[in-house]
Structure 1
């Protein structure tokens, strides 16, 4: 394998519910969910049955044709997004692809520039990485796509100053996952909506990590800014429960008409297998009441961590089951290793934050095993830092 991911921490061979098993037969509580991907955990019967049934019937057709599942998934995405009449969906495979489509949508306004926020992560393809904040990701591949402006995160005045008649869109993550599960101030998304509307620019929300019930609503913007209507939303990760599928949702006929026949495409996007998986995920989330479940589990783990009273933990951040445990000391990478050795899978987006994005079906009892172990894990992380 090409060394772009570094040395893997584990070789995983099986999954069951909220647990994964490595090649040595050791079991781990998966508190990362494939980085917010495995919405229903591992081996969920509804997802397994949908994939098996569809694989036996039809896996791929190309987008010279359509399928009932593709149409049904488009309709469901418009429904859960609260999109108005005349809205449309473009189905693809990944979050990067979804954001590439959004970038092209912005260019079709006739305005060349896009405004993004410092700390934002939008993918690794050339267009998506041009939008991404972290310089270490961008620098090896410069020159990148021009016309990208960066403004400080959660700064309304800086955003207002940056959005002029040359800006086609503002791209915002409702919660910045890769920056450490950073939540904007109340009213920031609404301010972004007003600023873009006044300037005639699009407001595009990157919901790749926050979408599909992760925050306790179908989309993060519905959690943070109820009633807000964006111009477009990108989605991927949790939509397929582990099967690659993503999409761009455009709101209303004017925005939806910006990309026309021949201006964008994909070979695998919206294939029958991926659509069957996504529909099974959406049906299960709705049918099993997982939106409410996610809110309650998120509140539970935040309260439990706060109740530890451990001075090495300065708090928690996030919504629903996208949470960060904030650390006094820069030992998050060491804590990840200590957690893995103790049978927990988490990750460290920053040196002072550990990210939790477990399957949406996780229980309080499963979450409690991690919280109960956390003080000991911090002890071991401190030992690793000094060794």
Structure 2
């Protein structure tokens, strides 16, 4: 049986999968089961920070697999402690503590639980718990029930009612809408520096600062979803610092690029005091409040340490900025009417398309038409909403690889 046949018979059809069967990867390239080579600017949707099968990552996994792959979180795992220190001291650079999970959705669930625990510690004026988390339209926070309920997209939530209560969605980058956003029951605001799945919509510095000021004014938590933007992709270890560097979040979630391909997520809580008795926010999630069987096991921690050290030591976040400049300048020089904008930051960029200029069959979106054409020409990119596609190459992508990708994009868009 072919791989598509086995999928059809045995795998739930939860994805609209492309007709591609990758079997091998190296750096920025993938090969399918026919031997065809592709330049991969999807990278597992911003997961493979160092590209496919980076030698340092492969060796870290191979070595740790021969030492100890898993141990219960009932015990103290030295690699988990080392990874938490690496994240705190060299990436976040703020006092806080980390919990390790397996995915971004789980990490966001942890932030949501933390907001509710904070709302219990800092209740409403009448003594009742604060529990509401404000998020934004076109956001994406994951597919668990909690993370999906936090997501401001009806298409993600359709068919799964009743959703988890306690969420409200505001227009993104709308400062005026923020002014009356806080209610007595509001405990936190959760936002992405860039809404990747929502179309590569970047928060403006003014909006980010307004959210932070509102949180401070009303004693609510500022939570930042860095699942797709964290660890160098926007040009800094923490994506929010490329937008509003003076902002200090109360909580952060990560996954994707944190592990370079292994399933690891995490969320961070600040050590700042949240009560008159000096209670730290990070202490509110105490024993029994949260857990994960596989979260932060030795194998994934060894892999993540290798990835984060390579990003830091080779200054790959700087490469993200340099390549962004090259991409923007090249696309602008094309002067193609079909390209309406280049959105985003660093190596999380969205090419926005004019749908009126793209012949689109019924049941398809302009973005899918273009993504499929690019795949035919040997370039893999993911869509970002109906009218944009993303460029998510590895952080160590070379000038030559970027030039090759841009040449393919120019050729396809010129034909359209």
Pairwise same-fold verdict (TM > 0.5): yes
SS of the residue 1:90 aligns to: strand
Q: How many residues align?
A: 380
CA contact 1:39–1:360 (8 Å) conserved in 2:
yes
State the distance in 2 between where 1:5 and 1:82 align. 34
SS of the residue 1:171 aligns to: strand
Q: Give the structure 2 partner of residue 278 of structure 1.
A: 304
Cα distance per residue 1:36-72 (max 9 Å; x no partner): 0000001111101100010100000011112111001
SS of the residue 1:347 aligns to: coil
Q: Give the structure 1 partner of residue 368 of structure 2.
A: 333
**For residues 1-387 of structure 1, what are the structure 2 equivalents within 5 Å?**
1-85=11-95, 87-109=96-118, 110=120, 111-253=130-272, 254-329=280-355, 331-380=366-415, 382=416
CA contact 1:114–1:169 (8 Å) conserved in 2:
yes
CA contact 1:165–1:200 (8 Å) conserved in 2:
no
Quote the offset at 1:83 in angstroms.
4.4
Higher Cα radius of gyration: 2
CA contact 1:36–1:237 (8 Å) conserved in 2:
yes
CA contact 2:350–2:384 (8 Å) conserved in 1:
no
Cα distance per residue 1:110-131 (max 9 Å; x no partner): 2111100111000000000000
User: Taking structure 1 as reference, are residues 362 and 206 closer, same or farther at Cα in structure 2, changes over 3 Å only?
Assistant: same
CA contact 1:77–1:249 (8 Å) conserved in 2:
no
Under a length normalisation based on structure 2, what TM-score does the superposition of the two structures give?
Answer: 0.89
Q: Which runs of 5+ in 1 are unaligned?
A: 383-387
State the distance in 2 between where 1:281 and 1:68 align. 17
RMSD: 1.2
Cα distance per residue 1:317-351 (max 9 Å; x no partner): 11110001111226221110000000000121222
Under a length normalisation based on structure 1, what TM-score does the superposition of the two structures give?
Answer: 0.96
Q: Give the structure 2 partner of residue 385 of structure 1.
A: none
State the distance in 2 between where 1:315 and 1:369 align. 20
Instruction: Find runs of 4+ consecutive structure 1 residues off by over 3 angstroms.
Output: 80-85
Q: Give the structure 1 partner of residue 361 of structure 2.
A: none
Quote the offset at 1:189 in angstroms.
1.0
Q: Which runs of 5+ in 2 are unaligned?
A: 1-10, 121-129, 273-279, 359-365
CA contact 1:215–1:320 (8 Å) conserved in 2:
yes
User: Taking structure 1 as reference, are residues 80 and 119 closer, same or farther at Cα in structure 2, changes over 3 Å only?
Assistant: farther
SS of the residue 2:114 aligns to: helix
Quote the offset at 1:379 in angstroms.
4.6
Quote the offset at 1:370 in angstroms.
1.9
State the distance in 2 between where 1:212 and 1:318 align. 16
